[in-house]
Structure 1
């Protein structure tokens, strides 16, 4: 009887230890299997147009080593880093050509998209080259698109990301206001035009933030980070019109990527 009790006791201890070890092993396996790859999607604000130091292999996508995704990856060493953001990208381009690297091992995704869908380049061209009335009318046309059409386009992108990388933490970055009103600029656009463009940026950000939140994504606003560094501020982190290299016009400089976008993304990631 006594031997039976001792045997039963030893067996129960070993069983408990086995359960504990099995649990620890499972936890370790789960930790090891946690998705830790990083994929950077989006348009020129994510690829780094305007910051220089472009990867020649990226061609017209102009992916820069000074863009916030590359800076974050260099500082945090994710298990994998895929940089597919591309200059000029629209929502349809993200879906058609940028989602390839997404999979179950993707733990983090960054994205800025929507500005090109809303006609960002055409808006600025109109405002620079045409009258104030034409500028404001074109801005209002873009705002109507942002309100009525863009939400559905964003939904398609966000749903496609979730379908391919359901475990990923997705951070959607917004756009800065371009102008400091009442600033140091003595030529160029009128204050009315600058205010209209800023209001379009605010609407684009608000619309994007709402769609991102509804998909369970995190929205990173860069408006505050760029405050005091807009065009006409005297310490701008944004290119104004660049007649030598037009594609860099109204895009963040290297300082805008490292001082504006990177801290916002790092805090949200």
Structure 2
């Protein structure tokens, strides 16, 4: 097995194929020092790709929830986000962290549901047409299965945290589509375009369902514009051998300069 295949097979991905601005569902206190903040979601919420990851969920204080906590010093902060989380595992294992006193909830979720890790593996190892077919498979799931899953997830978040402002964040568009070369085991331009198109559709779906639930949506694609994988100034890891779990996740700069401002703009 090649190093590229090994790294890809080890991915615990929670990103999108990747990749929600509504009216606030509930008004939070004006002073964030009074807030009780809970972070839910997948590896993009747990902070995979940043330094300081620990535990089976690979949580890092340098992901965007931890950075927001450090900058705003809320009354309480708890992250139950976990690498590899899906809407089903979020509902079964993370919602117990919420209650009627929760003031702020943030969440990224949905990328794993549509099979991002397997898509990245297929796109790296197969042809351009094989990659496009795999992305189409994920988009079929997005259309047929994810509406009910998103609606159930958002409904249960609101039931558990009836007084919270809930911010749903999207996923970056992963790849620069113009660079002719994409490094070690890099994607061709047609593959990058297929994956990016899938991310756009995923974000559209998340946004629609988050806004229908009365949650705030924060689209991070503007913050990450010009900083895709293969580009001259990437804020996302490409294929990473050590540790492989960092692959296709934001760098520390991506969380600090991409996700954190996107969250702040929603608040």
Alignment TM-score, normalising by the size of structure 2? 0.85
Which structure would you say has the larger RCO, counting Cα contacts within 8 Å and 6 or more residues apart? 2
Give the equivalent residue in structure 2 for 1:234.
232
1:177 deviation in Å?
Answer: 0.5
RMSD: 1.8
Give the equivalent residue in structure 2 for 1:148.
144
Give the equivalent residue in structure 1 for 2:44.
45
Picking from 161, 170, 177, the partner of 1:165 is 161
Matched, 1:130 2:142: no
Alignment TM-score, normalising by the size of structure 1? 0.84
Q: Distance in 2 between matches of 1:35 and 1:144?
A: 43
Picking from 206, 210, 213, the partner of 2:211 is 213
Which ranges in structure 2 are unaligned for 5 or more consecutive residues?
A: 1-28
1:186 deviation in Å?
Answer: 5.0
Q: Distance in 2 between matches of 1:153 and 1:136?
A: 24
Matched, 1:115 2:115: no
Given that residues 171 and 203 in structure 2 are in contact (C-alpha distance below 8 angstroms), is that contact kept between their aligned partners in structure 1? yes
Given that residues 41 and 108 in structure 2 are in contact (C-alpha distance below 8 angstroms), is that contact kept between their aligned partners in structure 1? yes
Tell me which protein shows more helix as a share of its residues.
1
Which ranges in structure 1 are unaligned for 5 or more consecutive residues?
A: 1-29
1:184 deviation in Å?
Answer: 5.4
Q: 2:56 aligns to what SS in structure 1?
A: helix
1:246 deviation in Å?
Answer: 1.6
Give the equivalent residue in structure 2 for 1:225.
223
Q: Distance in 2 between matches of 1:189 and 1:231?
A: 10
Instruction: Give the number of equivalent residue pairs.
Output: 236
1:167 deviation in Å?
Answer: 0.8
Given that residues 50 and 248 in structure 1 are in contact (C-alpha distance below 8 angstroms), is that contact kept between their aligned partners in structure 2? yes
Q: 2:78 aligns to what SS in structure 1?
A: strand
Give the equivalent residue in structure 1 for 2:244.
246
Q: Deviations over 1:157-213 (max 9, x none)?
A: 101111111111000000001111112525522111110100000000000000000
Q: 2:59 aligns to what SS in structure 1?
A: coil
1:53 deviation in Å?
Answer: 0.9
1:243 deviation in Å?
Answer: 2.1
1:244 deviation in Å?
Answer: 2.6
1:35 deviation in Å?
Answer: 7.5
